[in-house]
Amino acid sequence: MTSIIAPSLLASDFGNLQRDIEMVNQSEADWFHVDIMDGLFVPNISFGMPVVEAINKYAKKPLDVHLMIVQPERYIDTFHQLGASSISVHIEACPHLHRIIHHIKSLGIKAGVALNPHTSIDTLVDIIDDVDIVNLMSVNPGFGGQKFIPRTLDKIRHLRAIIDSKNLNCLIEIDGGVALNNYEEILHAGANVLVAGNCVFGAKNPHEVIATMKAFNRK
């Protein structure tokens, strides 16, 4: 399976959002990663519906929506209507995770569950068969530009072993601190989706960074 590159628009220049979206459209990237923060589940507020609507107007690739919000069940239908191709909710924010995952799937889009760095892979045992994506946070969510937490590599290997032993199609997405000096070991450990914010939008040549990460598949 080839890896999926998902630039995170949180690191884009919001004053030139259309320009940065066009850059991703023209690049080898696969998805747009869209981070929604509510100032409650995480200590930061990112952006809301009108901005996602604007993103969807120009984006020509799937929108991968990552909800870092409390009670995400209140907004699933809204983000679906705004063009999400996948929606991930945090396991720490969902007492009724099974219900919300099946609701997302009933809309015909991919359902993801996101895990904070301290949350064990073992918490997935009774939901892993139902999800399309596991987003393993490799930083504490809330801010772009943080350092990758190395322990994530063991979590990737552990999860990869479970997914392969059960013969599931579930994707492992890694979110936070992904950079040119660690993407190879992340993919080697068994990840499928790389979210990349600052290392793409902070680069002199974002196309080149995306193409380099994508080229791993051809090695």
Active site residue ranges: 35, 175
Joined together, the tokens standing for residue 65 give 């929506």
CB of 219 to Zn ion, least distance (A): 26
Q: Which is nearer to ligand DX5, 116 or 168 (CB)?
A: 116
Q: Which residues pair with 89 in a beta bridge?
A: 67, 113
**Is residue 35 within 8 Å of residue 196, measured between CB atoms?**
no
Q: How far is the CB of 152 from Zn ion (least distance, A)?
A: 14
Q: Is 172 in the site for ligand DX5 (CB under 6 A)?
A: no
SS3 (DSSP) at 86: strand
Q: 137 has which bridge partners?
A: 175
212 membership: H or E segment, kind and range:
helix 206-215
Nearer to ligand DX5 among residue 119 and residue 168 (C-beta): 119
| Distance of closest approach, residue 79 Cβ to Zn ion, in angstroms | 14
Residue number of the CB closest to ligand DX5 reads 197
Binding to ligand DX5 by CB under 6 A, coded x per residue (else -) over 91-110, reads --------------------
Kindly tell me which of 42 and 159 has the beta carbon lying closer to Zn ion: 42
- Residue 117 backbone dihedrals phi, psi, to 5 degrees: -55, -30
Q: How far is the CB of 88 from ligand DX5 (least distance, A)?
A: 9
The entry of ligand DX5, Zn ion, none that residue 46 binds, CB within 5 to 8 Å by partner kind: none
89 binds ligand DX5 (CB under 6 A): no
Binding partner of 198, given Zn ion, ligand DX5, none, CB within 5-8 angstroms per partner class: ligand DX5
| x/- track of binding to ligand DX5 for residues 30-49 (CB under 6 A) | ---x-x--------------
Q: Is 213 exposed, middle or buried (0-12, 13-18, 19+ CB in 10 A)?
A: buried
Token readout for 39 is 């100032």
d(CA 28, CA 213): 9
From the CB of residue 212, how many other CB atoms can be counted at a distance below 10 Å?
16
Q: Please tell me the distance from the alpha carbon of residue 77 to that of residue 182, in angstroms, as a whole number.
A: 35
Which residues contact ligand DX5 (rule: CB under 6 A)?
8, 10-11, 33, 35, 66, 139, 141-146, 175-178, 195-199
